Structure 1
Amino acid sequence: MINSTEGLFDFGLNEQQERRAIELHENSIVIDMLFQGPLSPKAIPDQISDDLKEKCEGFADDPMTYGRMPSKLISQLAKYGNIPQFKEEWFASGITAGNRQLNLSDQESMILSMADVQAQFDAYDWLVKARNAEEIRDAKKRNLKAGMISAQETDALAKNLELVDALYDFGLRMLQLTYNNQNQIGAGCAEKSNAGLTNFGIHFIEHLNQLGVLIDTSHCGKQTTLDACTYSKQPVIASHTGVSNIFNHMRCKSDEELKAIAATGGVIGVFAMPWFIHDDPNDTSMNHVLDHIDYVVNLVGVDHVGIGTDWPMSDVTWSLVYFKEHIAPKLGFAKGNGPSTETVKGLEKYSYFINFTRGLMSRGYSDQDIEKIIGGNWLNVFEEVCG
């Protein structure tokens, strides 16, 4: 049941519109294509945050381990029912399906993350692994939640396509080509060279097309994105990005890229990252997110727009501060430019996700177009590529 009072952003809707928004949100298939939830720092009790800090202190000399450890411990606690907010937030959000993310930064991380993701599916009788669109529809009918397995980096794969096949068999259905930096496939958005796809990258895309895996270009450089759209015979997506003409950040896409993605039949997911969509992350609201959605709709049409929030994280505040200071620079972000503790006003918790539906209604979108943006377009492209 969607919480109809807590966290509602003031869009100036009347009572009839509010009732219509709730009904539309509850009846629609809602998809967050870069779903870092269902938890967030504001949904995790302070006592748990304090306990995690004490458990992690012994690893403070290893920044990568220390920074990533809290989210892993949170996942473990949630699996054993020690954080009931995990289920409560997901169901309150109204989100039908969201990705469950693997870490392919190296092979050890790949194996550990596969175990962690599978443990989620094993632990929750209300969460199903979605390998095709019909499994998402079925989850909606049965009042269950669906997880689509994805990854944002490919370093662990090197040039071994057998590993890609194994991940597909495990359930992988969305894969990002690069994460900010240069890799075997192409140049990321933080690379000054803007070199585009490598020869192997072109072959890699052919292989993903054959398997039926969504090609994600969110963190790719401009030329890599354009090349992906040129060489892919299947729709290409950007699961979580913004509009560079609104806010000129390396993580946002140019009009040329947005048009190229749409021309493949793909979908552009707009994110809710305060640092990447507005010049003041401390004063970024749902209206700024909606500005990006409006722009993409006007540029390429409503059939090519979706949501991929990417924020907030299932993490705790002290860990996010540490991430920004010590880990983000290692991932290609400029110093001080990585994600931290700020959130979009109106999306401080995933249980406030109905603000997307309410906000789109406030901007005059029809019910049919709202259904497309909050999930229908993702479902269509998922079905076209993955079955």
Structure 2
Amino acid sequence: MKKGYKGYVSYEYLEKQKDYKNFELAQEIDRVEPYLIPLTAEEEKRAEEIIHKNLIISLHDHPSITPHDAKELMDYEREGREATAFLGLAHSCLDAVFDNMMDGTCVIGSKAGWKWNDVIHDMGVRSCDIAHQDFLVKAQNVNDIYEAKKNGKIAWFISLESSTMIENELDRIEILYGLGCRMMGITYSESNSLGYGLKEKNDGGLTSFGHRAVERMNKVGMAIDVSHCGDKTAMDVIKISKKPVFITHIGARSLWNIKRLKPDDVLKACADAGGVIGIEAAPHTTITKKNKRHNIESYMEHFEYIKDLTGIDNVAFGPDTLFGDHVGLHNLFSNNMSIEENRIGEEYEHVEYVKGLENPAEASLNIVRWLVKHKYPDEDIKKVLGENIIRVLRENWTT
């Protein structure tokens, strides 16, 4: 385990059932049969050296724990007190993680989600929990990542998947930044006042207000994510942003023809503008015709395709995993997250979990092991594990 972890458990400063409603949570370790890519003794040694020497950053994850019983998920989310998987993260090789909070499950006060008060509530409660321990460091800048690695800790960044909750208020971007948010999506899968989401049949691109929001995010120093935007909206953002943007969690539509993934022209435009593309691993997304059962191999097939398309300097990893039953969460929140609408187009084999990418810890370890197994050079591994992300963060952030 990481040396900085001292055994803290979420909200242990409060009394269960007295101060908050308690739920039996999923196991953080070995919830399902674990899988690590087998390596030779020599490869194991190299993998350990890579983990020790290089920054390893998850561009997009949800390192919280869901209830053991997926049927309790809705009540759990409405309680507005997600538990962070400190133990699970301690078993990872991550040095920094962009935590995307409740995203489409932010239904504390509304079935539709994405309300301003709910998002602020989620950020505040989670930040309070983080403040009561010192293994995860609520990070503000790039230097915090290097410090976390040096001390065996993890830099924890607040990231939001959509700007829906800012409504028509540009100043809310500054409020979110002031509260710690360092990256934000333009839309979720549904359209909002900024632009069009990827579920929509028609994409009118970035709105006039969306243009002003992108300009404000550039000025504030908040990184921009277009993962859930419609293709035209994403292209508009990439074109008008004065800073390179992220597609934090995505795959290639050329390999698997569903709306949740991006076409080559969007991927190339992002890279040509200096941006970085993180590879997505949420269940039933990065499948391929070669690997119709979603697993680490289909996932890395998307990585290699996008790497070959855009160049090694423009690709990274944003697995979009969590600790618990991710498939169960998708089933329950299918409408909120537009899950089925975004998968239309290809038949696939349903899985209960994604082998090799079951949670942020397993995913981070297996990505390193896969790269070692496939004999990627050290310089390329260094780039895709963290340095590409660092470059774009430095171009976006004020510090």
The one-letter code of the counterpart of 2:318 is G
Q: Shift in Å at residue 285 of structure 1? A: 1.8
Partner in structure 2 of residue 45 of structure 1: none
**120-129 vs 328-337, greater mean Cα deviation:** 328-337
**111-120 vs 208-217, greater mean Cα deviation:** 111-120
Asked whether the 8 Å contact 2:130–2:137 carries over to 1, the reply is: yes
Trace 1:1-387 onto structure 2 (pairs within 5 A). Answer: 1=1, 7-10=34-37, 13-37=39-63, 39=65, 49=68, 56=72, 65-66=74-75, 68-69=77-78, 72-75=80-83, 86-102=85-101, 105-278=114-287, 283-311=293-321, 313-316=322-325, 321=328, 323-334=329-340, 342-352=352-362, 353-386=364-397, 387=399
Separation (CA, whole Å) in 2 of partners of 1:10 and 1:24: 16
**275-284 vs 211-220, greater mean Cα deviation:** 275-284
**TM-score for both structures, normalised by structure 1:** 0.83
The one-letter code of the counterpart of 1:289 is Y
- Gaps of at least 5 residues in structure 2 are 3-28, 107-113, 345-349
Secondary structure at the counterpart of residue 249 of structure 1: coil
Separation (CA, whole Å) in 2 of partners of 1:142 and 1:135: 11
Runs of 4+ in 1 over 4 A off after TM superposition: 279-282, 335-338
Secondary structure at the counterpart of residue 382 of structure 2: helix
Change in Cα spacing, 1:343 to 1:26, as seen in structure 2 (3 Å) is farther
Separation (CA, whole Å) in 2 of partners of 1:263 and 1:282: 30
Q: Shift in Å at residue 176 of structure 1? A: 0.3
Secondary structure at the counterpart of residue 98 of structure 1: strand
The one-letter code of the counterpart of 1:89 is G
Asked whether the 8 Å contact 1:296–1:305 carries over to 2, the reply is: yes
Change in Cα spacing, 1:316 to 1:295, as seen in structure 2 (3 Å) is closer
Separation (CA, whole Å) in 1 of partners of 2:379 and 2:396: 23
Over residues 265-302 of structure 1, what are the superposed CA-to-partner deviations in whole Å (9 max), with x where a residue is unaligned? Answer: 11000011231111699832211111111111111111
- Gaps of at least 5 residues in structure 1 are 42-47, 57-63, 79-85
Separation (CA, whole Å) in 1 of partners of 2:117 and 2:292: 37
Asked whether the 8 Å contact 2:248–2:279 carries over to 1, the reply is: yes
Separation (CA, whole Å) in 2 of partners of 1:309 and 1:331: 17
Secondary structure at the counterpart of residue 335 of structure 2: helix
Separation (CA, whole Å) in 2 of partners of 1:125 and 1:93: 17
Separation (CA, whole Å) in 2 of partners of 1:16 and 1:344: 27
